[in-house]
Amino acid sequence: MNNQYTIATLGSHSALQILKGAHDEGFKTLVIALNKQISFYKRYSFIDEIIGVDAFSKFPEIEEKLKDKKIIVIPHGSFVAYLGMEGNKKMTLPYFGNKRVLDFEFDRVKQGNWLKESGINTPKEFKNIEEVEFPVIIKSFGAAGGKGYFLVNNKQDLIKKIETFKGQQYVIQQYVVGVSLYIHYFYSSLTNKLEIMSMDRRYETNVDALGRLPFNVPPSYVVVGNSPLVLRESMLPEAYSMGEKVVKKSQELIGPKGLFGPFCLETIITPDQKFYVIEISARIVAGTNLFIEGSPYADLLYNEPMSTGRRIAREIKNAIKQNKLDQILD
């Protein structure tokens, strides 16, 4: 029954993981790749079809051609980067996930309120300079990938930095000193269960190299890679509880379907073993690429290699079996 459907995605980010997982679950697979990368994607036997484009922004034209096929699109980080939030919302092909979540994810204020109202621990935010407890990180609203973030440790520098932000929106946030941990969750709206699939920590340059220097250099947060990490088992229940709280709140804020499928909480853990959640990504994150063969956490839940990409395909397969595809597609 699965092989009537084709799982499709853009050729970038976690496409290989998603398509390998789809193939392993018995789906046909399709990648929409940049023309110059077609030969790269041809290397992989689990990809059944490749459609070449000059630019990912041509996706709407491709969509038109695919509309008579039984396609299910799996979004990943590059969808928003290349098609924009509106481009994602306008997509007409069946899309795995709830597009209403995008509004809450990409508006910093809405996302901040969602996390805070979930009852999980988030960094303090300061409205008034007089109240600031240092160090703080100033985040401009337009920043991406940690560019446009500034760390300051005294009032004088804070005032100077804020002057350079004239006309831009920004937030002054408590700088949490600790180890970063990115937790990869999957929430099934078919079983109403949350699963921790894997975890990683990001390697960011230059902040992750500063401990090697005897002098001060301003930090930057440009991601260059991801490495695996396992969490102390005693902290695992809290990791589950945070994910459940965020899902529950999303059902109140965003509507009954709420957040489902893969998502990631970006946390920093302080020496008193407290998690601070700095961001949520409501889709598959690139750190899951470490675990195409599964992870210690996925292994505890499944007796077979289960990546997040494969877990998505498994969910679609289960929905087809139960005649509930409408519940998981937008």
Would you say 48 or 107 has its CB closer to ligand ATP?
A: 107
Q: Does 173 bind ligand ATP (CB under 6 A)?
A: yes
Pairing of strands 71-73, 6-10: parallel
- Count interface residues toward ligand ATP (CB under 6 A): 20
Q: Does 258 bind ligand ATP (CB under 6 A)?
A: no
Shortest gap between Cβ of 145 and ligand ATP (angstroms)?
4
Asked if 237 contacts 201 with a C-beta cutoff of 8 angstroms, the reply is no
Shortest gap between Cβ of 222 and ligand ATP (angstroms)?
9
Q: How crowded is residue 112: how many other Cβ atoms within 10 Å of its Cβ?
A: 17
Q: What is the 3-state secondary structure (H, E, C) of the chain?
A: CHHHCEEEEECCCCHHHHHHHHHHCCCEEEEEEEHHHHHHHCCCCCCCEEEEECCHHHHHHHHHHHCCCCEEECCEHHHHHHHHHHHHHHCCCCEECCCHHHHHHHCHHHHHHHHHHCCCCCCCEECCHHHCCCCEEEEEEEEECCEEEEEECCHHHHHHHHHHCCCCCEEEEECCCCEEEEEEEEEECCCCEEEEEEEEEEEEEEHHHHHHCCCCCCCCEEEEEEEECCCCHHHHHHHHHHHHHHHHHHHHHCCCCCCCEEEEEEEEECCCCCEEEEEEECCECHHHHHHCCCCHHHHHHCCCCCCHHHHHHHHHHHHHHCCCHHHHEC
Q: Does 195 bind ligand ATP (CB under 6 A)?
A: no
**Residue in 200, 204, 315, 330 binding ligand ATP, rule: CB under 6 A:** 204
**Residue in 53, 81, 210, 278 binding ligand ATP, rule: CB under 6 A:** 278
Question: Which parts of 108-127 interact with ligand ATP (CB under 6 A)?
Answer: 123
Shortest gap between Cβ of 175 and ligand ATP (angstroms)?
4
Q: Does 221 bind ligand ATP (CB under 6 A)?
A: yes
The one segment of 45-53, 89-97, 170-178, 311-319 that binds ligand ATP by CB under 6 A? 170-178
**Residue in 38, 143, 190, 329 binding ligand ATP, rule: CB under 6 A:** 143
The one segment of 11-19, 88-96, 202-210, 291-299 that binds ligand ATP by CB under 6 A? 202-210
**Residue in 9, 88, 98, 180 binding ligand ATP, rule: CB under 6 A:** 180
Shortest gap between Cβ of 109 and ligand ATP (angstroms)?
14
**Residue in 202, 283, 311, 314 binding ligand ATP, rule: CB under 6 A:** 202
Would you say 190 or 223 has its CB closer to ligand ATP?
A: 223
Would you say 253 or 280 has its CB closer to ligand ATP?
A: 280
The one segment of 41-49, 126-134, 158-166, 175-183 that binds ligand ATP by CB under 6 A? 175-183
Q: Does 146 bind ligand ATP (CB under 6 A)?
A: yes
Q: Does 268 bind ligand ATP (CB under 6 A)?
A: yes
**Of residues 173, 203, 199, the one with CA closest to residue 185:** 199
Asked if 188 contacts 328 with a C-beta cutoff of 8 angstroms, the reply is no
Q: Which residues of this protein are in contact with ligand ATP, per CB under 6 A?
A: 123, 137, 143-146, 149, 173-176, 180, 202, 204, 207, 221, 266, 268, 278-279
